[in-house]
Amino acid sequence: MNGLVIAGMIGGWEMVAILAVVVLIFGGRKIPELMRGLGKGVSEFKKGVKEAETSINEDKNKDTQN
């Protein structure tokens, strides 16, 4: 099943229940650390994608110059 379809089926109360389960599993103090790590991971991923795009564009420019 598509992730967008699943996200469309989740309502407000379901989100509250999911959040409550996450707090119970990880505890209130651990959640900020998890979110910080997730943010760093996303930013590193975006940085890698940007570097790959730059490298591809440089390679294309070299090919067109030859």
All structural domains of the chain with their residue ranges: 3-65
- Looking at residue 1, its pLDDT comes to 46
Distance between CA atoms of residues 57 and 2, nearest Å: 32
- Looking at residue 51, its pLDDT comes to 94
Provide the residue-wise pLDDT of the chain in tens; the chain has 66 residues. 455 555 567 788 888 898 888 888 888 788 888 889 989 999 999 999 999 999 988 888 877 776
Distance between CA atoms of residues 57 and 36, nearest Å: 32
pTM flag (> 0.85): no
- Looking at residue 53, its pLDDT comes to 92
Contact 42, 49 (CB under 8 A): no
- Looking at residue 30, its pLDDT comes to 84
